[in-house]
């Protein structure tokens, strides 16, 4: 089905409000999830609603938290998200980084114990809107899913890496990806009847490559939030030894240095850790060389002959900008399974059928 972004945002916001978040937080979480669907990352969109609600019920995700500042100097801070919604505590941490980098030219912020921060690109976009370059190393404690290069057993989270670069008068460059072949959410989308993951994205304990989501989740029913079962297969690290090495660095910087905790060993409560570096280009480049050189260089990169007839070299962030424009105009495509699990979450949160109909208009 196709659903308009506004209707989707309203129903998701109503679910979180009924589940116990403030109106402001419900709206923030809904906007963030729907925005991930708009940019084409359905893996980090509304498909997450049942899992977030379940985590709230279990007390693993807490409403309306404010970051606690553990360490504070002019150029760095360590902050604790207290297992609050990532969509609430991450922007607080980013705000702190923006303020420090504006005052001092650069800043490093270590965020620990955040609920799922969603699409990391949101936070690089927030920094870019403030005119700052940013780099983010992220891990997910309690979400061990990815086999390292040369292994079949889970050792890493999907540990995303992200960098954002503002461009005067243009949308920012946003490079933002999981260091696994696919983000876990893409397996979740496939498990819910959406786009299948590419062949060989997953690995069975015996080393066989597969694309079957049951490798991660077993056979969850259509309305159940799939849980990542232990002792089954893994997602593969991207980019052979190089991607596997970057995943390791994300675990060490996002997980260990922040105090969040790495993906393993042993069970841990789910928490995203995010080590972010913010840089003010003006502090590096008083002569204004950077924006003009970047413009020339990006034109040069895009001018490379396409590998396929009718193809095009895209910059990081361009696929998302195009998807946002198209989906805002045409609506967001949702597989029936994903939609049904949102309706089930709405009913589970106590919304009556007539309320759901009224919200959807
Ligand atoms: P992906 O494989 O779709 O890669 C996305 C990146 O590649 C973007 O920067 C995009 O602009 C760029 N890109 C895509 N196609 C391109 C092309 N043809 N030419 C040039 N650049 C192109 O992303 P993914 O690995 O599936 O990750 C999806 C999302 O999942 C990310 O937003 C990530 O932050 C998020 N994530 C979050 C967590 C978490 O714990 N919070 C964990 C893993 C992933």
pLDDT along the chain (361 residues), means of 10: 96 98 98 97 93 95 98 98 98 98 98 97 98 98 95 96 96 97 87 88 94 84 59 90 98 98 94 98 95 97 97 98 98 92 94 95 87
Beta-carbon contacts of 220 under 8 Å, excluding residues fewer than 6 positions away, are 191, 226, 227
CA-nearest residue, atom 18 of ligand 1? 314
Distance CA 358, CA 361 (A): 5
Name the E strands within the chain. 2-3, 68-72, 76-84, 106-114, 133-141, 146-147, 161-167, 170-177, 202-203, 209-210, 234-236, 271-279, 332-333
User: Tokens 């799939």 label which residue?
Assistant: 226
Helix (H, G, I), strand (E, B) or coil at 206: coil
Task: Specify the pLDDT at position 192.
Answer: 76
CA atoms within 13 A on the CB side of 154: 29
Task: Specify the pLDDT at position 129.
Answer: 98
Q: Which of 55, 61, 142, 160 best tests ligand 1's pocket when mutated (most atoms within 8 Å of CB)?
A: 160
CA-nearest residue, atom 9 of ligand 1? 175
Helix (H, G, I), strand (E, B) or coil at 136: strand
CA-nearest residue, atom 23 of ligand 1? 177
User: Tokens 């936070």 label which residue?
Assistant: 123
Beta bridge partner(s), residue 80: 68, 112
Taking the centre of ligand 1 as the mean of its atom positions, its distance from the CA of residue 177, in whole angstroms, is 3
CA-nearest residue, atom 39 of ligand 1? 118
- Residue 117 near ligand 1, beta carbon < 6 Å: yes
Distance CA 227, CA 211 (A): 17
Q: Please give the order of strands across the beta sheet that includes 133-141.
A: 68-72, 76-84, 106-114, 271-279, 133-141, 161-167, 170-177
Beta-carbon contacts of 129 under 8 Å, excluding residues fewer than 6 positions away, are 166, 172
Taking the centre of ligand 1 as the mean of its atom positions, its distance from the CA of residue 289, in whole angstroms, is 29
In this structure, is the dihedral angle defined by the CA atoms of residues 308, 311, 314 and 319, taken in order, positive or negative?
negative
**Is the separation of the CB atoms in 254 and 273 below 8 Å?**
yes
Taking the centre of ligand 1 as the mean of its atom positions, its distance from the CA of residue 209, in whole angstroms, is 22
Task: Specify the pLDDT at position 191.
Answer: 85
Phi, psi at residue 308, to the nearest 5°? -125, 150
- Residue 270 near ligand 1, beta carbon < 6 Å: no
Beta bridge partner(s), residue 176: 162
Token reading at 275: 């080590």
Distance CA 116, CA 251 (A): 15
Task: Specify the pLDDT at position 219.
Answer: 72
Distance CA 137, CA 248 (A): 10
Q: Is 98 exposed, middle or buried (0-12, 13-18, 19+ CB in 10 A)?
A: buried
What predicted TM-score, i.e. pTM, was given to this entire model?
A: 0.95
Peptide bond into 265 cis (omega under 30): yes
Phi, psi at residue 85, to the nearest 5°? -55, 130
CA-nearest residue, atom 40 of ligand 1? 140
CA-nearest residue, atom 28 of ligand 1? 177
Angstrom CA distances, 332 to 27, 33, 38, stand at 18, 12, 7
């Amino acid at each position: 089905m196709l659903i308009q972004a506004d209707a989707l945002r309203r129903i998701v916001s109503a679910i979180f409000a009924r589940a116990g978040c403030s109106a402001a937080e419900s709206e923030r979480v809904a906007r963030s999830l729907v925005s991930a669907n708009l940019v084409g990352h359905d893996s980090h969109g509304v498909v997450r609603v049942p899992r977030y609600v379940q985590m709230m019920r279990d007390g693993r995700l807490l409403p309306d938290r404010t970051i606690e500042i553990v360490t504070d100097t002019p150029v760095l801070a360590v902050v604790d998200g207290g297992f609050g919604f990532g969509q609430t505590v991450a922007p607080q941490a980013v705000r702190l980084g923006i303020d420090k980098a504006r005052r001092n030219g650069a800043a490093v912020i270590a965020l620990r114990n955040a609920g799922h921060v969603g699409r990391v690109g949101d936070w690089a976009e927030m920094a870019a809107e403030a005119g700052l370059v940013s780099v983010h190393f992220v891990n997910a404690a309690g979400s061990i899913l990815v086999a390292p290069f040369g292994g079949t057993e889970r050792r890493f989270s999907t540990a995303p890496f992200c960098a954002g670069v503002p461009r005067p008068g243009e949308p920012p460059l946003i490079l933002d990806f999981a260091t696994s072949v696919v983000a876990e959410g893409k397996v979740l989308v496939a498990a819910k009847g959406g786009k299948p993951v590419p062949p060989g994205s997953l690995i069975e304990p015996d080393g066989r490559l597969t694309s079957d989501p049951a490798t991660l989740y077993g056979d969850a029913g259509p309305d159940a939030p799939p849980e990542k079962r232990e002792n089954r297969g893994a997602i593969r690290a991207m980019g052979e030894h190089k991607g596997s090495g970057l995943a390791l660095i994300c675990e060490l910087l996002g997980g260990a240095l922040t105090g969040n905790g790495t993906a393993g060993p042993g069970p841990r409560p789910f928490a995203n850790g995010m080590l972010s570096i913010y840089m003010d280009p003006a502090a590096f480049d008083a002569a204004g060389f950077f924006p003009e050189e970047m413009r020339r260089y990006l034109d040069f990169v895009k001018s490379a002959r396409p590998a396929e007839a009718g193809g095009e070299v895209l910059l990081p962030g361009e696929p998302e900008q195009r998807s946002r424009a198209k989906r805002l105009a045409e609506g967001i495509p949702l597989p029936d399974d994903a939609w049904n699990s949102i309706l089930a979450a709405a009913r589970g949160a106590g919304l009556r059928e007539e309320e759901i109909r009224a919200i959807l208009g």
